[in-house]
């Protein structure tokens, strides 16, 4: 079945009395009346207890019981209740319910069993008379005041409730088991999306993709690609305002060394703790365990947060949807036009500057050749004047290299040192060239070349990435003698 979330608003007077909520049938028949009370009860019990629980729903069989049972069954299903027991024709005396709860607790493996008893007891029933509902706890007794108070408080603030509207009516006159397949937990169903797409139509405003184990993510606008390096920076810049989990602030942010410095600029501007770690997620984990990092990311489409210790593709998509929702809430209140993914990225560049970024991968090259290439780059580091002479000979407009090193990480948490984590050439204008050998390949060696150039001038932030980076790419390939070493005239993959 599918779960839909229905919007509602509080209804006055839902304070349970001595023995539940008793009202005229016509009061109960008002839209959302029963639903609000049932959801207020589920919320008071807390979702943790309700999920997987067994629920008894029955009563004295008075007028409106059958409709009420069908509604409660649908809401129970939507709230994650695993089993609902209904007496034949919805009939169970109050003591019978109490006995059933007590007898069955744990017997069927459920942690929690409780009951909605549908009765107004000695009050008259019928279309113009009374209906009633009360909740009995896992000890078989009526909910204590602490719970009924909570239920009442919840009825005063309720905004929505989930319900499995398409669940077929349960035949409560038949003895037996009726079962339904649980809700689809995939994103597609929960977001009310369609599983098929039509490439012929206009591309959607938002697109996303993941890798095989769904820890990586790609974020797309209508005709717009968000680089992962920008993505983590944009999430960090908007997290506090747009994502409730971060509303009390970010403990710190971190990126892998080859990831562009877009995140650095955000951290500096917002005064956030910042860390640059070697490639691979485990370096972030130490920081997160120590409470030093809330948001982190890699240029290789990995983005995540400290609620788990892996990167998470779905999380990144939800983070972006939260930012989109937040930005559009602001703009819709002012009647402005839709804020798109592209708008958000361009706005970010206008505020923080743009890091043009590309990665060239040379897969399955000869391992010895790859080592020699890296060796040459390490050697060149000791003679920067020579390096700059070479560069001027290729592209005079490219800035000078200010420093170069092999990245080494001193873990601030456990003091461990990780050496040889990639070769960096840092230019005077903030540009960077990074060379690494992949640690995930299964055949030969994979050389990764990361090329990055920072542009603060707002009039120059809208260029095509490959055009903007062409001189620097050329410098990277010639400086490393890439073609000479590997025999490759072009990369296997460009991202
Ligand atoms: C690559 C990526 C790196 C990522 C790693 C695991 O490693 O560059 O950023 O953390 O894959 O990702 P390498 O060493 O080949 O560059 V995954 O999706 O396989 O867990
Ligand atoms: Co993966």
% residues pLDDT > 70 (the chain):
94
- Indicate the burial class of 304 (C-beta count within 10 angstroms; 0-12, 13-18, 19 or more): buried
* Beta-strand pair 54-59/113-118: parallel
Arithmetic mean of pLDDT over the chain: 91
- Ligand 1 atom 11 nearest Cα: 440
Task: Determine the atom of ligand 1 nearest the C-alpha atom of 216.
Answer: 18
* Same domain? 333 vs 359: no
| Structural domains counted in the chain | 3
Return all residues near 46 (Cβ < 8 A) that are at least 6 apart.
Answer: none
The answer to ipTM > 0.85 is yes
Whether 219 is in a domain gets the answer yes
* Same domain? 454 vs 426: yes
Note the pLDDT of residue 109: 53
What is the domain range of residue 111?
A: 4-187
Whether 411 is in a domain gets the answer yes
Q: Tell me the ligand closest to 280's alpha carbon.
A: 1
* Same domain? 8 vs 133: yes
Is the pLDDT higher at 156 or at 124? 156
* Same domain? 383 vs 347: no
From 131, 160, 187, give the residue that closes a domain.
Answer: 187
- Ligand 1 atom 8 nearest Cα: 300
Q: Which residues line ligand 1 (CB under 6 A)?
A: 211, 215-216, 256, 279-281, 298, 300, 302, 438-440, 448
Q: Give the distance from CA 194 to its chain's centroid.
A: 20
- Ligand 1 atom 6 nearest Cα: 280
The yes-or-no verdict on residue 307 having pLDDT over 80 is yes
Angle at 315 between CA 257 and CA 287, to 5 degrees: 40
Q: For residues 117 and 38, is the Cβ–Cβ distance under 8 A? A: no
CA dihedral 328, 332, 337, 343 (to 10 degrees): -20
Is the pLDDT higher at 206 or at 440? 206
For residue 142, what pLDDT band results from cuts at 50, 70 and 90? confident
For residue 111, what pLDDT band results from cuts at 50, 70 and 90? low
The yes-or-no verdict on residue 443 having pLDDT over 90 is no
Note the pLDDT of residue 106: 53
Whether 193 is in a domain gets the answer no
Whether 261 is in a domain gets the answer yes
Range in 77-86, 87-96, 384-393, 434-443 with the lowest mean pLDDT: 434-443
* Same domain? 393 vs 274: no
Task: Give the up-direction half-sphere exposure of residue 274: CA atoms within 13 A in the CB hemisphere.
Answer: 20
* Same domain? 31 vs 152: yes
Q: Tell me the ligand closest to 211's alpha carbon.
A: 2
The yes-or-no verdict on residue 184 having pLDDT over 80 is no
Condensed to tens digits (0 to 9), the pLDDT of residues 406-417 reads: 999 999 999 999
- Residue 305 alpha carbon to ligand 2 centre in Å: 16
Note the pLDDT of residue 336: 74
Task: Determine the atom of ligand 1 nearest the C-alpha atom of 281.
Answer: 10
- Residue 300 alpha carbon to ligand 1 centre in Å: 7
Q: Tell me the ligand closest to 301's alpha carbon.
A: 1
* Same domain? 16 vs 145: yes
- Look at residues 126, 339, 101 and name the one whose alpha carbon lies nearest to residue 224: 339
Indicate which CATH number applies to the domain containing 480.
Answer: 3.30.310.50
For residue 107, what pLDDT band results from cuts at 50, 70 and 90? low
The yes-or-no verdict on residue 56 having pLDDT over 70 is yes
Read off the tokens for 277.
């770690």
Residue whose pair of structure tokens reads 């708008």 in the numeric block:
343
Condensed to tens digits (0 to 9), the pLDDT of residues 75-89 reads: 999 999 999 999 999
The preferred substitution site among 279, 282, 435, 449 for testing ligand 1, maximizing ligand atoms within 8 Å of CB, is 279
- CA–CA dist 14, 36 (Å, integer): 9
The average pLDDT across 331-353 equals: 89
From 332, 351, 370, give the residue that closes a domain.
Answer: 351
Q: Give the distance from CA 104 to its chain's centroid.
A: 38
Q: Give the distance from CA 361 to its chain's centroid.
A: 29
462 is catalytic: no
Beta strands across the sheet bearing 217-221:
207-210, 217-221, 224-226
- CA–CA dist 378, 391 (Å, integer): 16
- CA–CA dist 219, 198 (Å, integer): 19
Q: For residues 463 and 454, is the Cβ–Cβ distance under 8 A? A: no
Whether 62 is in a domain gets the answer yes
- Residue 356 alpha carbon to ligand 1 centre in Å: 21
Read off the tokens for 485.
């070493």
User: Catalytic one among 93, 121, 331, 438?
Assistant: 121
- Residue 18 alpha carbon to ligand 2 centre in Å: 57
The average pLDDT across 254-264 equals: 97
Return all residues near 311 (Cβ < 8 A) that are at least 6 apart.
Answer: 215, 216, 281, 297, 298, 302, 303, 304
- Ligand 1 atom 19 nearest Cα: 440
Indicate which CATH number applies to the domain containing 66.
Answer: 3.40.120.10
* Beta-strand pair 423-427/432-437: antiparallel
* Same domain? 262 vs 376: no
Range in 3-12, 39-48, 177-186 with the lowest mean pLDDT: 177-186
* Same domain? 89 vs 33: yes
- Residue 309 alpha carbon to ligand 2 centre in Å: 13
Whether 257 is in a domain gets the answer yes
- Residue 279 alpha carbon to ligand 1 centre in Å: 7
* Same domain? 268 vs 367: no
Q: For residues 28 and 172, is the Cβ–Cβ distance under 8 A? A: no
Q: For residues 415 and 436, is the Cβ–Cβ distance under 8 A? A: no
The yes-or-no verdict on residue 94 having pLDDT over 90 is no
The yes-or-no verdict on residue 278 having pLDDT over 60 is yes
- CA–CA dist 474, 459 (Å, integer): 24
For residue 134, what pLDDT band results from cuts at 50, 70 and 90? very high
- Ligand 1 atom 10 nearest Cα: 280
For residue 18, what pLDDT band results from cuts at 50, 70 and 90? confident
Note the pLDDT of residue 90: 96
Condensed to tens digits (0 to 9), the pLDDT of residues 463-489 reads: 999 999 999 999 999 999 999 999 999
The preferred substitution site among 256, 260, 280 for testing ligand 1, maximizing ligand atoms within 8 Å of CB, is 280
From 129, 161, 187, give the residue that closes a domain.
Answer: 187
* Same domain? 390 vs 308: no
The average pLDDT across 319-329 equals: 94
Strand ranges inside 108-235, DSSP E: 113-118, 130-136, 160-163, 207-210, 217-221, 224-226
Other beta carbons within 10 angstroms of residue 404's beta carbon come to 19
- Look at residues 287, 277, 286, 302 and name the one whose alpha carbon lies nearest to residue 407: 277
- Ligand 1 atom 2 nearest Cα: 300
Whether 195 is in a domain gets the answer no
Whether 232 is in a domain gets the answer yes
* Same domain? 173 vs 232: no
- CA–CA dist 480, 460 (Å, integer): 28
The yes-or-no verdict on residue 199 having pLDDT over 60 is no
């Amino acid at each position: 079945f599918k779960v839909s979330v229905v919007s509602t608003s509080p209804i006055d007077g839902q304070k349970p009395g001595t023995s539940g909520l008793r009202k005229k049938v016509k009061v109960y028949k008002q839209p959302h009346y029963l639903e609000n009370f049932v959801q207020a009860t589920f919320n008071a019990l807390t979702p943790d207890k309700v999920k997987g629980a067994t629920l008894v729903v029955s009563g004295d069989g008075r007028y409106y019981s059958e409709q009420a049972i069908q509604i409660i069954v649908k809401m129970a299903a939507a709230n994650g209740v695993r089993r609902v027991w209904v007496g034949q024709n919805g009939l169970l005396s109050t003591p019978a319910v109490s006995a059933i709860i007590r007898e069955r607790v744990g017997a069927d493996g459920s942690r929690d069993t409780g009951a909605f008893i549908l009765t107004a007891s000695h009050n008259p029933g019928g279309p113009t008379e009374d209906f009633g509902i009360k909740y009995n706890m896992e000890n078989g007794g009526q909910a204590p005041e602490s719970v009924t108070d909570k239920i009442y408080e919840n009825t005063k603030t309720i905004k929505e409730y989930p319900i499995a509207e398409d669940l077929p009516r349960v035949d409560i006159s038949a003895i037996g088991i009726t079962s339904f397949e649980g809700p689809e937990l995939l994103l597609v169903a929960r977001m009310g999306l369609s599983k098929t797409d039509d490439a012929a139509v206009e591309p959607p405003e938002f697109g996303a993709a993941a890798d095989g184990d769904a820890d990586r993510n790609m974020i797309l606008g209508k005709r717009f690609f968000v680089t992962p390096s920008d993505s983590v920076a944009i999430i960090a810049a908007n997290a506090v305002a747009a994502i409730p989990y971060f509303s009390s602030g970010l403990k710190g942010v971190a990126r892998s060394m080859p990831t562009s410095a877009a995140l650095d600029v955000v951290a500096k501007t917002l005064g956030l703790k910042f860390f640059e770690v070697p490639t691979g997620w485990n370096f972030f984990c130490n920081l997160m365990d120590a409470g030093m990092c809330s948001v982190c990311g890699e240029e290789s489409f990995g983005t995540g947060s400290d609620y788990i210790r892996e990167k998470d593709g779905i999380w990144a998509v939800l983070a972006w949807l939260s930012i989109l929702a937040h930005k559009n809430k602001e703009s819709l209140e002012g009647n402005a036009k839709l804020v798109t993914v592209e708008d958000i990225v361009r706005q970010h560049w206008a505020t923080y500057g743009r890091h043009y970024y590309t990665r060239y991968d040379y897969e399955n090259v000869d391992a010895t050749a790859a080592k020699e290439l890296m060796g040459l780059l390490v050697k060149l580091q000791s003679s920067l004047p020579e390096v700059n002479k070479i560069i001027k000979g290729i592209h005079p407009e490219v800035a000078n290299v200010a420093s170069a090193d092999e990245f080494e990480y001193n873990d601030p948490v456990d003091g461990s040192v990780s050496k040889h984590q990639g070769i960096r050439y840092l230019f005077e204008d903030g540009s960077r060239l990074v060379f690494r050998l992949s640690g995930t390949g299964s055949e030969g060696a994979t050389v990764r070349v990361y090329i990055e150039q920072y542009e603060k001038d707002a009039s120059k932030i809208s260029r095509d990435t490959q055009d903007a980076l062409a001189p620097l790419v050329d410098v990277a390939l010639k400086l490393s003698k890439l073609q000479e070493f590997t025999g490759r005239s072009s990369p296997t993959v460009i991202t």
